[in-house]
Amino acid sequence: MNIFEKIVAGKAQCNKVLENDDYLAFYDIAPKARVHILAIPKVCVKDLQSASPDVLKGLCEFTKEVAQTVGLDKTGYRVLTNIGEDANQEVPYLHFHILGGENLKALGF
């Protein structure tokens, strides 16, 4: 079980931002921006490449709700997802990084 599977199963803690039946958002443990949230489906999918259109559509809609919840929809934000080895994906569980809360120009992404 990877760390995000444990979080979904309630076996590891997270700092939750928003949740519904199918998706969960929580703050990244090592934030790369003033606001850094991860949004995941509750069903484990390895990455965007192997995700179904339905899961991706739902995750996009959920990401917009997360942004509204924390006010990033007003100031702007970036959505990023790593896929596989060359992207240095650490956790093999589809997640969108939602980054904002400051101007992102200086960040090394």
Catalytic residue among 95, 97, 99, 100: 95
Residues 20-59, mask of contacts with ligand AMP (x by CB under 6 A): ------x-xxx-------x---------------------
Is residue 91 at the binding interface for ligand AMP, with CB under 6 A as the rule? yes
Kindly report the number of other CB atoms within 10 A of residue 63's CB atom: 20
Beta bridge partners of 38: 26, 97
| Alpha-carbon gap, residue 64 to 83, rounded angstroms | 21
Residue of 9, 78, 75 lying closest to 42 (CA atoms):
9
Catalytic residue list contains 95: yes
Binding site for ligand AMP (CB under 6 A): 3, 12, 14, 26, 28-30, 38, 82, 88-91
